[in-house]
Amino acid sequence: MDVWLIFPLLLVLLTLAFYALSFMLLQWRVSRHYKMTGGHYATMGTLGSLLFVWQIVRTVTKLSWYLLTKNRKGLHPLRPGNGSKVLLVHGLHMNGNCFWAFRQYLEQAGFRTYSINLGKPYIPVERYVQRLHKVLHNVADGGKVHLVAHSMGGLVIRMLLTQHPEDAKLIASVATLGTPHKGTAIVGDFALPWLKQLFHPASPDLHALPDMTQLAPGLPLMTLGSRNDLVVYPLKNAMQPNARQVKLFAVSHIGLLCETRVMRKVLQWLQAQQVSEKAAITNQ
């Protein structure tokens, strides 16, 4: 083998080894947390873990491509139509580009989709709330909108309803994907203050934030999480009371944005809400 090929190959091998070790350590940390708190981590086995890592690599590649090439007009549907409106709300370190696959999937089923850019990470959360407040009114345009939120986006919706309870009349339903409704154990006591305030399980601000059903009684709500989420855990922290709770296996936190089975669950949820809306109109 030529000498000039050895160094790039060695770099690739070292990179793969680093990520493999990081994954094993993180999975060990999460399973240890479940064990120490009386829970049970859903193990995936060797093959399952390899497929899980491949899912993460595949998703990161997709999202990077979307960031570079897609979603220049997030606040406009991808194709003309008059279907129900769906506004997608991203999480931390993301923007509206991350929902490109979701938007294509839902629009093929007849929905009109919109994706918001909340703003840069680590800015005052109030700015996210006001951005969502403004965009929600623009998208609703006198009607109602279904909200689908990934990770932090679900918390921003709860904060929106806390500060602007009148906005509930613009929301047809809410679905959250891997949202740390009760914080996440990955954020420890030595994390950045911004992260602790928003995501620490013992955060006073998070504890003071009312549940979705308290903020908007009667609003249809689905909370979806993964038993193998290595970012938002334990799984129960991604759930909300009085909601349809969907618990999946072998889906990564970032995979919630692109995995077909996640999009299928959300589509089924939205279609069920359409049926309920039509039935309510018929019975009037």
The pLDDT value given to residue 279 = 77
Domain range summary for the chain, segments of one domain joined by +: 1-41, 68-282
- Kindly report the CA angle at 177 between 15 and 76, in degrees rounded to 5? 95
Q: Residue 284 has what pLDDT?
A: 64
CA distance 259 to 274: 23
pLDDT in the model for residue 69? 84
Between 90 and 189, the more confident residue is 90
pLDDT digits (tens, 9 = 90+) for 46-68: 999 999 999 999 999 999 999 88
What is residue 98's predicted lDDT score, i.e. its pLDDT?
Answer: 95
> Which CATH code is given to the segment(s) 68-282?
3.40.50.1820
pTM attached to this predicted model: 0.92
How are the residues of the chain apportioned to helix, strand and coil, as percentages rounded to the nearest 5?
55, 10, 35
Give the pLDDT score at 19.
77
Confirm if 206 and 182 have CB atoms less than 8 A apart. yes
pLDDT at 1 over 60: no
Please state, for a pLDDT cut of 70, what percent of the chain lies above it.
96
pLDDT tens digits, one per residue of 60-115: 999 999 988 876 677 888 888 899 999 999 999 999 999 999 999 999 999 999 99
CA pair distance 266, 108, nearest whole angstrom? 13
pLDDT value of residue 3: 55
Rounded Cα gap, residues 120 and 1, in angstroms: 46
More confident residue, 13 or 155: 155
pLDDT for residue 78: 86
Asked whether the beta carbons of 257 and 224 are under 8 A apart, the reply is no
User: What are the distances in angstroms from CA 1 to CA 5, 6, 9, 14, 17?
Assistant: 7, 7, 11, 18, 22
Cβ neighbors of 100 (< 8 A, separation 6 or more) are 66, 70, 71, 115
